[in-house]
Amino acid sequence: MTTLFIISAAIFLIYTALSVHKFDVPKSLSDTYYLWKGYAHNFRWLFSAAMLGTALPLMPVFVDYSTESTTFIAFFCCAGLAYVGVACQFKMGLTKPVHFTSAGICATCAILWSLFNLQSGWVVVALSGVIFGLIALKRQNERIFWLEMGAFAIAYISLGLKIF
């Protein structure tokens, strides 16, 4: 399970770092789908691959480290991220509500999982909220990106604390 956690984190970090390196900090992580469209040979598929490559290895780890009553939260967190990767064209009419709803479910479930599965979950949520919230307030054009990074930080830190 530790290997799957590391694979998921590596895919997420590499994709995010590569995207920020190529395009600077985007408005949101999902916006990188459209940024990759104009780059070289149309690498839009990277966004979907990265989101699915992040969510799918993480799901069994999340479920395994959940309490019996919070397994569904872990499932919805990863399923939400997978749907974000599948419904990547968030500027189009049909996929827009799927994308935004899935992203909201993913972030909400990451926070809830941390609160319900760690005794110190509230500390992780509060610290991430303060750190990434302050960055988001300071960098208005990238506000969504930094709030997304806060949700990912909560998920990975919380699960990492359970594993290690």
Percentage of the residues of the chain whose pLDDT score is greater than 70: 98
* pLDDT on residue 40: 65
d(CA 80, CA 98): 9
Closest to 44 (Cα-Cα) out of 65, 14, 15: 15
* pLDDT on residue 76: 98
pLDDT digits (tens, 9 = 90+) for 25-82: 999 999 999 998 877 667 889 999 999 999 999 999 999 999 999 999 999 999 999 9
* pLDDT on residue 43: 87
* pLDDT on residue 38: 73
Band (pLDDT 50/70/90 cuts) for residue 16 is very high
pLDDT digits (tens, 9 = 90+) for 28-43: 999 999 998 877 667 8
| Domain residue extents for the chain | 2-163
* pLDDT on residue 41: 67
Q: At what angle do helices 143-163 and 45-64 cross, to 10 degrees?
A: 30
Band (pLDDT 50/70/90 cuts) for residue 160 is very high
d(CA 99, CA 105): 10
pLDDT digits (tens, 9 = 90+) for 84-143: 999 999 999 999 999 999 999 999 999 999 999 999 899 999 999 999 999 999 999 999
